[in-house]
Amino acid sequence: MMQKIPVQIIDASTLAVDSKIHVRLTEGLFQQARRLISWPLLFVYFALVWLQVDGQPWLLFDFGQRRILLFGTSLSWHDLPLLAGIMIAGTSLLFFMAVGWGRVWCGFACPQSIWTWVFIRIEQWTEGRANIRARQERQPLRGILLLRRISKHFLWISFALFTAVTFTGYFIPIRELVADLFTWQAGTGTLGWLVCMAALTYLNAGLVREKICLHACPYSRFQGVMFDDQTRTVSYDKSRGEPRSNKRSSDGSSGDCVDCGLCVQVCPTGIDIRDGLQAACIDCGACIDACDAVMTKIQRPKGLIRFCSEDQLAKISSPLWRPRLIAYLLVSLTTIAAVVYGFTDKTELLVEIRRDRGALFHQLDEETVCNRYLFKVESFNPELQALNLSVSGITGAYLEGMKRIEKSNFAQWLPYRVCAQPTSTSNNQLQIHFQENNFETIKKTTFITSAR
């Protein structure tokens, strides 16, 4: 029999839904872990776009050439299943983490969260701590306060533009993009895209913030489906913390919670973790750091708020590794292995052949029959600069057209004609060879004649 999810009624008057959340920054174990994860990710994001291999960007989504440069290798549109595999692998890892540890991705590695924390730090650096910012909201905007507000928004916009230019550099070579911007040669489409991306970054990380997590993020909507009683999420140990010090029981005893409110003040989504599991919780651990600091000061054990499961709170055996979690891990590993294997068999050369549909064959004379074709070659191997063409399979067959296709002629439809003697076509399977050094690919086609 299925158990109902426990529901706790929360007093709506205690919720600051419409008021601005002034997040108080704190220090602690999880804050350090978040830095160790987010700062390297930021560095990779801003630095990766500048890396090159043999003069080519290390990562570039080149829609004009219908290719993706990925860590020194080139992928064609025929290799899109590899990208789908990467997305499936990433989704499987998200499911694995959600089942095991809740929304830790959101709290530690999600771009929305990382950029929000950066903007919060800029806000604190320019306008002061959270309590100071809260007081300033009720003061007239003038003098030094106006200067601080302008400085904050200037730094926000600057970081948003830096973000937008870097993101665009993954679709347009960053060196060309920056050169065009400094010489005022960038097109209106590029400038419009940069303005839109910068505006979205500024709004999401600076103004909207937690509302993305509360209302727009789909991950928070299906996390409840992923959780079970053994999922380790940020949880408040009610049996240990209640009653709070300002709500002593009839016998005068109280729990460890001193009702300082720091867990709410440091929460980036503005929730009170003491109200239980909530969809808005991103499991960032900020409330754990704040509570542990208070517990240390009042000389009580840490862990009043901690990563634990519902069963652990209920003092029930709660194994971390269970069939469901292992299944997601196996799916993730299998998908990653399939993607790695797929990279060993990716498309190096794409050859397309089209027959002239206007006439199946052309009878030049009694001894010569010709078939007309269009060839198009697309190379996704930087070492292939040219290809030599030849034909085989039919005795006496010869090729008319460009015998060597240079790189400048790749991705273009080129006209060809293959001719042979009608009497020599009992075996009419024609093989067209595209060869350069040790690389060769063969396309087969039927050579059509009037012979019966």
Closest CA to 112 of 31, 22, 213: 213
| Bigger pLDDT: 80 vs 61 | 61
CA–chain centroid gap for 253, Å, is 50
Neighbouring C-alpha atoms within 13 Å toward the C-beta of 172:
18
Phi-psi map region of 66: left, alpha, beta (phi>0 left; psi -120 to 50 alpha): left
> Encoding tokens for residue 105?
């991705």
E-assigned strand segments in 186-289: 233-236
**Where do we find the tokens 């990380």?**
205
Model confidence over 109-166: pLDDT tens digits? 999 999 999 999 999 999 999 999 988 888 888 889 999 999 999 999 999 999 999 9
For the residues of 85-132, what is the DSSP string, one character each? HHHHHHHHHHHHHHHHHSSHHHHHT-HHHHHHHHHHHHHHHHH-SHHH
Q: Is the pTM of this model over 0.75?
A: yes
Mean pLDDT of the chain: 87
Residue 215 near residue 221 (C-beta atoms within 8 A): no
For the ranges 8-22, 189-203, 216-230, 435-449, which has the lowest average pLDDT? 8-22
What's the pLDDT score for residue 268? 93
Asked whether residue 5 carries a pLDDT value surpassing 60, the answer given is no
Burial of 246 (0-12, 13-18, 19+ CB in 10 A): exposed
- Sorting pLDDT into bands at 50, 70 and 90, what band is 368? confident
Across the chain, which distance is largest between two alpha carbons, in Å?
115
- Sorting pLDDT into bands at 50, 70 and 90, what band is 13? very low
Distance of alpha carbon 202 from alpha carbon 42, whole angstroms = 16
| Bigger pLDDT: 332 vs 15 | 332
Neighbours of 428 (CB within 10 A): 17
Distance of alpha carbon 98 from alpha carbon 102, whole angstroms = 4
243 upstream amide cis, omega within 30 of 0: yes
Residue 419 near residue 400 (C-beta atoms within 8 A): yes
What's the pLDDT score for residue 32? 95
Report the C-alpha dihedral over residues 53, 54, 57, 60, rounded to 10 degrees: -100
Asked whether residue 65 carries a pLDDT value surpassing 80, the answer given is no
**Where do we find the tokens 């440091």?**
266
What's the pLDDT score for residue 2? 42
Asked whether residue 14 carries a pLDDT value surpassing 60, the answer given is no
What's the pLDDT score for residue 347? 73
Residue 118 near residue 155 (C-beta atoms within 8 A): no
Model confidence over 159-179: pLDDT tens digits? 999 999 999 999 999 999 999
Residue 416 near residue 373 (C-beta atoms within 8 A): yes
3-state SS assignment for residue 1: coil
Distance of alpha carbon 370 from alpha carbon 368, whole angstroms = 7
Residue 85 near residue 342 (C-beta atoms within 8 A): yes
Model confidence over 177-219: pLDDT tens digits? 999 999 999 889 999 999 999 999 999 999 998 888 888 888 7
What's the pLDDT score for residue 16? 46
Distance of alpha carbon 226 from alpha carbon 91, whole angstroms = 12
Size (the chain), residues: 452
